[in-house]
Amino acid sequence: MPREHSEVPPPVVRLEPRTAEFDPAAAFDEHGSALLGFALNALRDRGLAEDCVQETFLRAWRSRASYSAERASARTWLFAIARNVVVDVHRSRQRLPRLVEAEVLEEVPAEDRDPLEPLAMAEALARLSAEHRQVVVAVHLHGETYAELSAATSVPVATLRSRAFYALRALRGHLAGAGPTDEERP
């Protein structure tokens, strides 16, 4: 059936804010440098920050259908995505060992550890008095602070530091093979 032409123009269709499309190029031009600054401030690494901005726009593009200008501006939406990307990067950096440049590895001397070293250390610790051994084990092996050890033992911090000094000196001597015992100290 042929259509008749009428003088009435077709209705104008306007996009409502919730159906407005996300334009990544315009958003990058407008918000890219601010997002880079945000990521750079959070990560302290320009390469990672640039990767985060790229990932932010990639995620925004993938989820552009869920963008709603009624709920938030494009800037707010992009910064929320960027925050999530930065958090993801922080988590992945904590999980993975840091990469080291080859030149740095060449400078690190190879460790030729004696397999009997732990046994020698245990033997040297056994030769210390109980007081000196307690300080060395608590502070240097278990990572306690002198203040924590002082609170637990009611021994002044200065005394604990002194014991640690003499105990470490005696340990070095024991491990070297011919050193004074901690009882022989002045």
What pLDDT, on a 0 to 100 scale, did the predictor assign at position 67? 84
What pLDDT, on a 0 to 100 scale, did the predictor assign at position 186? 46
CATH for 60: 1.10.1740.10
pLDDT tens-digit map of 17-66? 444 577 888 889 999 999 999 999 999 999 999 999 999 999 999 998 88
- Whether residue 28 is contained in a domain is answered as yes
Is the alpha carbon torsion for 132, 134, 137, 140 positive or negative?
Answer: negative
- Whether residue 109 is contained in a domain is answered as no
- Which range, 78-87, 91-100, 143-152, 169-178, has the best average confidence (pLDDT)? 78-87
- Whether residue 5 is contained in a domain is answered as no
Task: Report the mean per-residue pLDDT for the chain.
Answer: 80
- Whether residue 6 is contained in a domain is answered as no
Could you tell me the two tokens for 164? 């640690």
Number of domains in the chain: 2
What pLDDT, on a 0 to 100 scale, did the predictor assign at position 163? 92
- pTM above 0.85? no
What pLDDT, on a 0 to 100 scale, did the predictor assign at position 47? 93
- Whether residue 91 is contained in a domain is answered as yes
pLDDT band at 14 (very low <50, low <70, confident <90, very high): very low
Tell me which residue range forms the domain holding 50. Answer: 17-95
- Whether residue 1 is contained in a domain is answered as no
- Whether residue 145 is contained in a domain is answered as yes
